[in-house]
Amino acid sequence: MIEFSPMDLQQLLEKGISKEKVLDQIETFKEGIPFVRLEKAAIVSDGIMKLSKAREKELVSKFEELKRLLSLLKFVPASGAASRMFKSLFDFLEQYDPRVEGVDTYVDRLDDTDLKTFFKQIKKFPFYEIVQKRIKNKAGSENDIKYRFVSEMLLKENLNYGFYPKGLLPFHNYGKCTVTAFEEHLKEASRYVVVNNKAKLHFTISEQHQSLFSKEFEAAGPRVSKATKTELEVTYSNQKPSTDTLAVTPDNEPFMMDDGSLLFRPGGHGALIENLNEQNADIIFIKNIDNVVVPKEEAELTTSKKVLAGLLLEIQQKAFAYADQLDRNDINGEQLHEIKTFLENDLNVRFLQSFSSFSIAEQLEILKDKINRPIRICGMVKNEGEPGGGPFWIRDAHDHISLQIVESAQVDTTDESQMAILKNSTHFNPVDLVCGVRNFRGEKYNLLNFVDTKQGFITQKTEDGKELKALELPGLWNGAMAFWNTIFVEVPLLTFNPVKTVNDLLKPTHQVT
C-alpha cells in the first residue's frame, strides 16, 4: 500500500487531485492498458457514409434553416508549441559550423531532404520577409546569411518562433500582411459558426501564452470582424492541473523529484474533455489549430462543415423524438423494433446477440441507455499515406462492438491479424468533428460520464536521466468519446491540411497565390 507524506498530500490538494485518483493511476500502471481489439476497419457502406451532392445540398439547407435557433461554437485545441515543427532547423543550428563547411555541403553530406527543401524554397515561406528585414543590414557570406536566417527565426533572443504557440506563427502570406493560424480560424468561424452575425470560438491554450493570444486577437479580431461583418466572441481555457497524471518508476512506485516532490505530467489532449464539458452550446465544431486553408479552398471546406452539422441536426431530431417516446414509456412492440433499427442503421449501435432474450422492460432500458448519449459526426478522409488515427469497429472486453477512432499506438503490432486490419483501413481521422452535447430535453450531458478510462496510453520517458513511466489520458476523440454515438462521413481531403513540419507551409493548400 502506498503511503503519502503530508508533503505529498499538500501537493495533491494544490493540484486538485484526489488520493484515490492517484492510487487508481498506480493500479493502471501495474495492470497495464490492454490493446484495443479491432474487429474490422470501417469502410464506405460499413461504418462510413458517402453522401451524394444532392444529399449534401439537402443537409446544408437543413443546417441553414435550423442554425438561427441554436447556439454554435468552434472549439480549437491550441496549446501545442511550435518546437516540433522546426526540429530539422534546430538540429541544423546545433550541428552546423559555418567555419568548417558551406551550408550546401553540409546538407548534401547529411542527405537532409528537409533542410534542402527549406533553403531551396525559402522565399515561399510566409515569414520570409519578416525575417529578411531583420537581417538584411548584417553583412556576411551566403552561408552566414542562411545560418543567421534560421537563428533569427528560432532563437529566444530573436523572433523566438521555436517556442511560440503554433497558432500564433505566420501561416499564410497575403502580400500586404501575413496571417496566423489563429486568425484563419476566426475567418473560418465567420463562415459557418454564425448566429445573428455573431461567431463564438473557444481556444484551449497554455497559460503562459494567454497574453500572446490576447494581443493577437486585439490585432486580428477587428480586421476579421470588419471584413466578414461578424462579431467575434473568443474565450480561452487552460488544461487543468487536476488532469495531470502521476509518473512512476519502472517498478510502479511514485517517481520522486530531487526535492522530494511527486512528479506529475500533463495528461495529453484527452484532458481537454473537461474543457469541452464546460462549454455551453447546442452544436460544437472541433478542429485542431494547425488545420487551416487559404481562400481558394474556403468554399468547399465551408460546405463540408455545414453538411456534417446538417446531418447531426437531422439525426438529433429523430433521436430526440424516440428518446422522448421512451421516456414516456409509450412504446409497443413494433415501435420498440423501430427504435432499435434506427439505432443500428443511423447511429451505428450494435446490440448483443442475447438482446432478444431479455424482457421487454430490460430491452427498453437498454434502448434508453443507447439513445441518450452525446452524438458526434466525424469527417473521415481517404487514406493517402498521412499519419493519424483511423475509423474502426472494435470489440471490447464485454463483447460489445462499437465504432471508434483508434490510434496505431492502441493496437497490438505483434498480432498479424490486427496489423492486417490496421494496414488495410481505407480512411483516417483529420480531427473534423461536429458534436451534439444536449439530450432531448435540452439538458447538457456530463461528458465525463462517457469516457472509457481504459483507453489511455502508458509511455516510457526519462526525467533527469532516470527512466519513468508516464500515463496519457484517453485521447479527446479516442477513449474520451468512446461511449458517444458515432457517425463517420467521408469528407474532402482538403479538410486535412495540418502543419506538422515547417515545410508543410510550402504545400499548395497553404500558398495564397
Taking a C-beta distance cutoff of 8 angstroms, is the pair 503, 117 a contact?
A: yes
126 in a structural domain = yes
Nine-digit cell at 381? 478522409
Is pLDDT above 70 for 116?
yes
Residues 39 and 116 both lie in one domain: no
252 in a structural domain = no
Residues 154 and 42 both lie in one domain: no
Is pLDDT above 90 for 286?
yes
The answer for 165, left when phi > 0, alpha when psi is -120 to 50, beta otherwise, is: beta
Of residues 40, 35, 42, the one with CA closest to residue 397: 35
Locate cell 456530463: which residue? 446
Of the given ranges (122-126, 192-196, 331-335), which has the lowest mean pLDDT? 331-335
Cα 431-67-283 angle, rounded to 5 deg: 35
HSE on the CB side for 279, CA within 13 Å? 30
Pairing relationship of beta strands 432-436 and 283-287 according to DSSP bridges: antiparallel
Task: Report the pLDDT value the prediction gives residue 138, as an integer from 0 to 100.
Answer: 65
Average pLDDT over residues 502-513: 93
Average pLDDT over residues 214-243: 96
Amino acid at 433: L
Average pLDDT over residues 104-114: 89
Is pLDDT above 70 for 142?
no
Q: Which residues pair with 287 in a beta bridge?
A: 432
203 in a structural domain = no
Average pLDDT over residues 85-112: 89
| Domain of 94, in residue numbers | 83-163
Residues 146 and 289 both lie in one domain: no
Digit-coded pLDDT (tens) for 395-440? 998 899 999 999 988 999 899 999 999 988 999 999 999 999 999 9
DSSP string, 22-33: HHHHHHHHHH--
Residues 92 and 67 both lie in one domain: no
Is pLDDT above 80 for 452?
yes
Taking a C-beta distance cutoff of 8 angstroms, is the pair 107, 115 a contact?
A: yes
HSE on the CB side for 421, CA within 13 Å? 23
Q: Which residues pair with 237 in a beta bridge?
A: 204
Q: pLDDT confidence of 143, banded at 50, 70, 90?
A: low
Residues 153 and 39 both lie in one domain: no
Instruction: Give the span between the Cα atoms of 467 and 326, in whole angstroms.
Output: 53
Task: Report the pLDDT value the prediction gives residue 21, as an integer from 0 to 100.
Answer: 92
Residues 274 and 358 both lie in one domain: yes
Q: pLDDT confidence of 139, banded at 50, 70, 90?
A: low
Instruction: Give the span between the Cα atoms of 262 and 260, in whole angstroms.
Output: 7
Taking a C-beta distance cutoff of 8 angstroms, is the pair 84, 212 a contact?
A: no
Instruction: Give the span between the Cα atoms of 492 and 500, in whole angstroms.
Output: 19
Task: Report the pLDDT value the prediction gives residue 385, as an integer from 0 to 100.
Answer: 66
373 in a structural domain = yes
Nine-digit cell at 87? 526540429
Q: pLDDT confidence of 102, banded at 50, 70, 90?
A: confident
Instruction: Give the span between the Cα atoms of 209 and 205, in whole angstroms.
Output: 7
Radius of gyration of the chain (CA): 25
Residues 158 and 50 both lie in one domain: no
Instruction: Give the span between the Cα atoms of 1 and 345, in whole angstroms.
Output: 49
Taking a C-beta distance cutoff of 8 angstroms, is the pair 264, 240 a contact?
A: no
Please report, to the nearest 10 degrees, the dihedral formed by the alpha carbons of residues 351, 357, 358, 364 taken in order.
50
Amino acid at 90: F
Locate cell 501564452: which residue? 209
195 in a structural domain = no
Q: What are phi and psi of 475, to 5 degrees?
A: -55, 150
Measured over the CA atoms of residue 308, residue 310, residue 311 and residue 317, the dihedral's sign is positive
Instruction: Give the span between the Cα atoms of 162 and 158, in whole angstroms.
Output: 10
3-state secondary structure of 93: helix
- From the number of C-beta atoms within 10 Å of its C-beta (0-12, 13-18, 19+), residue 384 rates as exposed
Distances (CA, A) of 316 to 151, 253, 312, 435: 53, 47, 6, 11
Residues 338 and 481 both lie in one domain: yes
Instruction: Give the span between the Cα atoms of 372 and 375, in whole angstroms.
Output: 9
Average pLDDT over residues 254-268: 92
Residues 48 and 119 both lie in one domain: no
237 in a structural domain = no
Average pLDDT over residues 69-88: 93
Digit-coded pLDDT (tens) for 293-319? 999 999 999 999 999 999 999 999 999
Task: Report the pLDDT value the prediction gives residue 334, as an integer from 0 to 100.
Answer: 92
3-state secondary structure of 111: coil
- From the number of C-beta atoms within 10 Å of its C-beta (0-12, 13-18, 19+), residue 141 rates as exposed
Digit-coded pLDDT (tens) for 152-181? 999 989 999 988 999 999 999 999 899 999
Is pLDDT above 70 for 373?
yes
Tell me the pLDDT of the chain averaged across its residues: 93
Cα 390-395-398 angle, rounded to 5 deg: 145
Q: How many CB atoms lie within 10 A of CB 77?
A: 22
Residues 414 and 286 both lie in one domain: yes
Per the structure, the count of domains in the chain is 2
**Of 137, 163, 189, the domain-final residue:** 163
Residues 440 and 348 both lie in one domain: yes
Instruction: Give the span between the Cα atoms of 333 and 325, in whole angstroms.
Output: 13
399 in a structural domain = yes
